Amino acid sequence: MTADEGIRKEWKKNRQAGFTLLCETYGRTVYSICYRYTGSREDALDLVQETYIRLYSSFDRIRPDLPIRPWLCRISANVCLNFLRDRKNTVPLQEDSMGAGGQEAFRQLDDWILLDRCLGQLPPDMRMALILRHRQDLTCREIAEAMELPEGTVKTLLHRGRKRLREMLMKSGEMEA
């Protein structure tokens, strides 16, 4: 029995037990998306909570023949995108991390922080597309469904996002021009 089948079976028997299993199985995926998107642990936990509430209320609507993960990513992505829309698209991450003064410190950071900083400077849609593609391994089609965008737009977002990341890395000296 796959994890998804187990969750569905448990949900039918007892919603609370099914929900617990769902969160135990996919909680880290949800957190990962939220954290990569917001760059803040506290905001990410708030968004995970919001996502959980939506998962609970809409679990009955997911088609039984579809895998749970893309649907879960979709809900999580929506919650994240709404979160920043509500904040009028302000980016809580390190806005000026590429400033001249910050460059020296920037070089000393490892890839992990580097990724945070780079992602934080991208527009929300672009950031979410990159997170879903590279951190969650979703296909372009799944990302398109998750973000409710045409597939072509997702490809463009990914392409532009990678291009901008490359430029940032060059600017910061992490990559040779």
Partner 1 sequence: MGCRVEDSLLEEYLDGMLDPLETLLLEEHVRICPECQVKLEQLKEVYGILASGQEEYPPELDRLHLEVLKDLQPSGGFGMKEWASLGRTIGEMSTRYLDFVPGCRKGQKLVRSLAHRAPGAMAGAVLQLAGRRSLWPSW
Q: Which two tokens stand for residue 55?
A: 């998962």
Among 5, 9, 14, 16, binds partner 1 (CB under 8 A): 16
Which of residues 45, 91, 98, 149 is near partner 1 by CB under 8 A? 45
Q: Does 12 bind partner 1 (CB under 8 A)?
A: no
Of 91 and 109, which CB lies nearer to partner 1 in the complex structure?
109
- Judged by CB under 8 A, the stretch of 5-13, 21-29, 80-88, 145-153 that binds partner 1 is 21-29
Q: Which of 12, 85, 107, 163 binds partner 1 (CB under 8 A)?
A: 163
Alpha-carbon gap, residue 132 to 142, rounded angstroms: 9
- Between 65 and 110, CB nearer to partner 1: 110
Question: 16 is written with which tokens?
Answer: 């609370």
Site string (46-75) toward partner 1, x via CB under 8 A: --xx--xx--x-------------------
**Candidate residues 2, 88, 104, 112; the one interacting with partner 1 per rule CB under 8 A:** 112
HEC string for the chain: CCHHHHHHHHHHHCHHHHHHHHHHHHHHHHHHHHHHHHCCHHHHHHHHHHHHHHHHHHHHHCCCCCCHHHHHHHHHHHHHHHHHHHCCCCCCCCCCCCCHHHHHHHHHCCHHHHHHHHHHCCCHHHHHHHHHHHHCCCCHHHHHHHHCCCHHHHHHHHHHHHHHHHHHHHHHCCCCC
Which residues of the chain form contacts with partner 1 (CB under 8 A)? 16, 19-20, 23-24, 27-28, 31-32, 35, 41, 45, 48-49, 52-53, 56, 110-112, 114-115, 118, 130, 134-135, 155, 158-159, 162-163, 165-166, 169, 175
